[in-house]
Amino acid sequence: MTARRFDAVIFDLDGTLLATEQMTIETGEAALARMGRVAPDGLLASLVGIDEPTSRGILRDHLGADFDFPHLDRMWAEAMIERRDRDGIPLRPHVHTLLDALRVAGLPFAIATSSTGDQAREKLAAAGLTDSFDIVVTRSDVPSPKPAPDVYLLAARRLGIEPARCLAFEDSDVGAIAARAAGMTVVQVPDMVPLSGENADFLATDLIAGARGIGLLAA
C-alpha cells in the first residue's frame, strides 16, 4: 500500500472556496461611485487576498488620507450584504466534489482565513457551508493575519496534525506565502488575479485539478 502523502487539508475561504472576489470588487466600485469617486483600473482587484490594514493603506495612497473611509466602509458593507442576501455567495468550481472526496478518504479539513470570525460565519452561512467545517480559524483568532503563518499554524494545531503533513489550498500570493511559511505544501488556484505560482508547489486551474496534480486524489 502506498503511504498517504497528506494527513489533512486546510482551505483559504475567499477566492478559494467562495467566489467572493468579483462580488467584493463590484460592490466596492459601486460604493465609491456613490461617493463620487472612481477606483483606478485594477485597484480593487489588487487588494485580493490582502489583509484589511494593508489594503486600507493602499486605498489611502490612492484616495487620500482625508478620504471618508468610515463612510466607504459602511456603504461597501451595505452593498455586500444586499448582494449576499439577494444572490447568496457562489462557490468556486468543484468545492462539494472535493469535500466529499476528503470525507470518503477520511482526511480531516479546516479553514484558515483572513476574514474576521463574524465575517467568516456569515459567508459560510450564505454559501451553505456552515455544517461542512468544524474548524474555522480566522484572523480574529491569531496575533497576525496572512502573510504571517499564524492562521495556518493554529488550524493545524486544532486538527492535531503536523504542518508538514498538511496540504493548503489558496488563491492569492499573500495566502500562499502564509501557508508555505507554516511549512505546508501549497496548491494555488487563482481566482480574479493571474499568478505566477512561484509561491506554490502546484498551480492549478481548479480545486480538483490541484488535488490530482499534487497527489491528493488519484489522477
| DSSP SS3 for 129 | coil
Is residue 171 flagged as an active site residue? no
Is residue 66 flagged as an active site residue? no
The single residue listed with the C-alpha cell 458593507 is: 77
Side chain identity at residue 67, one-letter code: F
Q: Is the dihedral of CA 111, 113, 117, 120 positive or negative?
A: negative
Q: How far apart are CA 192 and CA 25, in angstroms?
A: 10
Q: How far apart are CA 95 and CA 61, in angstroms?
A: 36
Q: How far apart are CA 77 and CA 118, in angstroms?
A: 13
Catalytic residue among 7, 14, 85, 131: 14
* Residues annotated catalytic, as ranges: 12, 14
